[in-house]
Chain A
Amino acid sequence: MTMLNALAAISILYVFFLFAVAFFAERAARRGRGNWLHTPIIYTLSLSIYCTAWTFYGAVGSAARNGFEYLTIYLGPSLVLIGWWWVLRKLVRIGRSQRITSVADLISSRYGKSNLLGVGVTLLAVVGTTPYIALQLQSVVLSVEVFSGAPDGMANNQPTALWVAVGLAIFTVIFGTRNLDANERHHGVVMAIAVEAIVKLAALLAVGIFVVWGISGGVGPVLDRIDASALGRWEVQGGRWAGLLFLSAAAFLCLPRMFQVMVVENDNDAQLRMAAWAFPLYLMLMSLFILPIAVVGLDVLPEGSNPDLFVLTVPLAFGQDGLAMLSFLGGFSSATSMVIVAAIALSTMVSNHIVMPLWLRFNETRVSVSGDVRNVVLVSRRVSIAGVLALGYLYYAQSGGGAALATIGLVAFTGVAQVLPALLGGIFWRGATRAGAFAGLTVGFLVWLYTLYLPSFGSGAFVPESWLETGPFGVMWLNPRALFGIAGIDPLLHAVLWSFFLNTIAFFGVSLASFPSPLERLQGAQFVNVQQATGPRSWSQSGAQAEDLMVMAQRILGAADAQGLFLREARRQGLDGHLPMTSPEFLEVLERELAGSVGAATAHAMIGQIVGGMSVSVADLMAVADETAQMMETSARLEAQSRELTRTAAQLRAANDKLTRLSVQKDAFLSQISHELRTPMTSIRAFSEILRDTDGITREEQNRYASIIHDEAIRLTRLLDDLLDLSVLENGQVSLNIGQGVLSDVLDRAVAAALAHGDEQVLMIHRHRSREEVILNTDTERLSQVFINLIANARKYCDAGRPELSIHVEQIAGSVNVDFVDNGSGVAPEAQDVIFEKFARVSDQKAGGAGLGLAICRQIVSRLGGEISYLPGRGGAAFRVSLPLNQALAAQ
Chain B
Amino acid sequence: MSGSPQGSPLFVERQTYRRRRLVDAARALPVLGLLLWLLPLLWAVPEEGPSASTTMIYIFSIWLGLPIVSGALVFAMRRLREPAVGDDT
Taking beta carbons and an 8 Å cutoff, which residues of A are in contact with B?
67-68, 71, 75, 78-86, 89-90, 223-224, 226-227, 229, 231-236, 238, 241-242, 245, 273-274, 276-278, 280-281, 283-284, 288, 291, 531
- Judged by a CB distance under 8 angstroms, whether B80 is at the interface is no
> Of A89, A234, A274, A291, which contacts B49 at CB under 8 A?
A234
Q: Are A531 and B41 in contact (CB under 8 A)?
A: no
A238–B39 CA distance with the chains assembled, in angstroms: 10
Q: Which residues does chain A contribute within 8 Å of B71, judged by CB atoms? A: 276-278
Q: Are B56 and A226 in contact (CB under 8 A)?
A: yes
Q: Are A273 and B74 in contact (CB under 8 A)?
A: yes
Number of interface residues of B (CB under 8 A): 38
Chain A to chain B: the 3 pairs with minimum beta-carbon distance, closest first: A83-B30, A277-B71, A223-B53
Q: How far is the CB of A92 from chain B (nearest CB, A)?
A: 13
Q: Are A82 and B41 in contact (CB under 8 A)?
A: no
> Of B27, B37, B63, B87, which contacts A284 at CB under 8 A?
B63
Q: Are A86 and B27 in contact (CB under 8 A)?
A: yes
- Taking A68-B55, A83-B27 as given, write out 4 further A-B residue pairs in contact, using a Cβ cutoff of 8 Å, ordered by the A residue number: A68-B56, A79-B30, A234-B52, A273-B78
> Of A84, A231, A238, which contacts B52 at CB under 8 A?
A231
Q: How far is the CB of B78 from chain A (nearest CB, A)?
A: 7
Q: Across the two chains, which residue of chain A brings its CB closest to B64?
A: A284
Q: Across the two chains, which residue of chain A brings its CB closest to B48?
A: A233
Q: Are B37 and A227 in contact (CB under 8 A)?
A: no
Given the known A-B contacts A83-B29, A291-B56, are A277 and B48 also in contact in the complex, defined by CB atoms under 8 Å? no
- Judged by a CB distance under 8 angstroms, whether B17 is at the interface is no
A283–B23 CA distance with the chains assembled, in angstroms: 24
- 24 example contacts (A-B, Cβ-Cβ < 8 A) are as follows A68-B59, A75-B37, A78-B67, A81-B70, A83-B29, A83-B30, A84-B26, A85-B26, A85-B27, A223-B53, A223-B57, A234-B51, A234-B54, A235-B49, A236-B40, A236-B44, A241-B38, A241-B41, A245-B34, A276-B70, A276-B71, A277-B71, A277-B74, A531-B87
Main DSSP-derived SS at the B contact region: helix
Q: Which residues does chain B contribute within 8 Å of A71, judged by CB atoms? A: 59
Q: Across the two chains, which residue of chain A brings its CB closest to B25?
A: A85
Q: Which residues does chain B contribute within 8 Å of A284, judged by CB atoms? A: 60, 63-64, 67
- Judged by a CB distance under 8 angstroms, whether B83 is at the interface is no
Q: Which residues does chain B contribute within 8 Å of A223, judged by CB atoms? A: 53, 56-57
Q: Are B67 and A291 in contact (CB under 8 A)?
A: no
Q: Which residues does chain A contribute within 8 Å of B77, judged by CB atoms? A: 273
A113–B56 CA distance with the chains assembled, in angstroms: 47
Given the known A-B contacts A90-B89, A288-B60, A531-B87, are A82 and B33 also in contact in the complex, defined by CB atoms under 8 Å? yes
Q: Which residues does chain B contribute within 8 Å of A276, judged by CB atoms? A: 70-71, 74
A321–B26 CA distance with the chains assembled, in angstroms: 45
Q: How far is the CB of B79 from chain A (nearest CB, A)?
A: 12
A71–B55 CA distance with the chains assembled, in angstroms: 12
Q: Which residues does chain B contribute within 8 Å of A283, judged by CB atoms? A: 63
Q: Which residues does chain B contribute within 8 Å of A235, judged by CB atoms? A: 44, 48-49
Q: Are A245 and B78 in contact (CB under 8 A)?
A: no
A79–B56 CA distance with the chains assembled, in angstroms: 18
Q: Which residues does chain B contribute within 8 Å of A274, judged by CB atoms? A: 74
- Judged by a CB distance under 8 angstroms, whether B9 is at the interface is no
Q: Are A82 and B70 in contact (CB under 8 A)?
A: yes
Q: How far is the CB of A535 from chain B (nearest CB, A)?
A: 16
A157–B82 CA distance with the chains assembled, in angstroms: 59
A757–B58 CA distance with the chains assembled, in angstroms: 128
Q: Are B33 and A79 in contact (CB under 8 A)?
A: yes
